[in-house]
Amino acid sequence: MLIINDNIQFVHNKKRKAQAISLDFYSSLIIFMIIVSGGLMLWNKTIIDNSGITNAQEMNNYANNIANILIRSKGYPLNWTNETVKILGLVENSHLIDYKKTLEMKNVSVYKMNDLFGYAPYILYIQIDNSSDFPVIIDGENLTWGYFNKSIANSISKISRYAILHNKDSFERVSVNVFIWN
């Protein structure tokens, strides 16, 4: 309550105290918290959704790089073996796959392949198919490397590259299929 004295000055009544927290403050705080929590939930959903896209893009890039290395590189050293290989490459000339290198690659463990390619968080599977989409068989060996179980895979990325397999005295059109999965 205000009291006006003789000099027309306003003087506060000392009995009335200021309200530190009012109904307006509480309603504003609740609205602010709803907006902030909604924004945080939207942000988290966006991050989670984009992480799956990033994972798929990363897997596609890895599979693409491996396929390109296999069919465009002779490997290092040029006449590599399981013990000497630094870079896996299957070609003798551009897109002409050397059957001897494919058989030598059968001796390279999947763990060593992952180390050579540098893609340890994912599981690698490579398969060379003939024109009928069945694995090529050379000297009784299927040209497949690694492990693949579609039923337990969360994400799969497959990249195919076409090449010519120089199998002793014949030539065969093949597809080099690289699967990356987790």
Q: Quick one: pLDDT at residue 6? A: 54
Name which of 72-76, 92-96, 134-138, 165-169 the model is least confident about: 92-96
Q: Quick one: pLDDT at residue 92? A: 85
- pLDDT > 90? residue 182: no
Give the residue extent of every domain in the chain. 55-181
What amino acid is encoded at 162 in this protein? Y
Give dist(CA 63, CA 52) in Å, integer.
17
Identify the CA nearest to 131 among candidates 168, 172, 71. 172
pLDDT tens track for 62-90:
999 999 999 999 999 988 988 999 999 99
- For residues 110 and 15, the model is more confident at 110
Mean pLDDT over 111-138 rounds to 86
pLDDT-derived band at 14 (thresholds 50, 70, 90) equals low
Identify the CA nearest to 2 among candidates 15, 11, 16. 11
pTM: 0.68
